[in-house]
């Protein structure tokens, strides 16, 4: 099951579990749409993998399996 991290690693924007603006790599590094597309050109700065839209978890599924509350922020030159 996806961890659904709650924020963008670049700009710290909130990305709740039901957000349609979250992008992830295969390691679940998480970025907002703006950072993923504009700053990072679709590549994860951690693993160089492709960033893809993260599936949203909605309704009962989100209630029963909530998103993580652990915020992740890393210093990336691409995010400066």
- Spell out the domains of the chain, with CATH numbers in brackets: 1-70 (3.30.40)
Is the pLDDT confidence value at 6 over 90? yes
Q: How far apart are CA 75 and CA 30, in angstroms?
A: 13
- Give the pLDDT of residue 73: 85
- Give the pLDDT of residue 78: 76
**Using one digit for the tens of pLDDT, what is the confidence trace for 22-76?**
999 999 999 999 999 999 999 999 999 999 999 999 999 999 999 999 998 877 7
- Give the pLDDT of residue 77: 75
CB atoms within 10 A of CB 43: 14
Q: What is the 3-state secondary structure (H, E, C) of the chain?
A: CCCCCCECCCCCCECCCCCCCEEECCCCCEEEHHHHHHHCCCECCCCCCECEECCCCCHHHHHHCCCCCCCCCCCCHHHC
């Amino acid at each position: 099951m996806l961890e659904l991290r709650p924020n963008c690693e670049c700009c710290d924007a909130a990305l709740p579990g039901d957000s349609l603006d979250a992008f992830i790599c295969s390691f679940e590094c998480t970025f907002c749409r703006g950072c993923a597309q504009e700053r990072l050109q679709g590549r994860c700065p951690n693993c160089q993998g492709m960033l893809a839209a993260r599936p949203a978890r909605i309704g009962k599924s989100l209630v029963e399996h909530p998103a993580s509350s652990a915020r992740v922020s890393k210093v990336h030159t691409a995010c400066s």
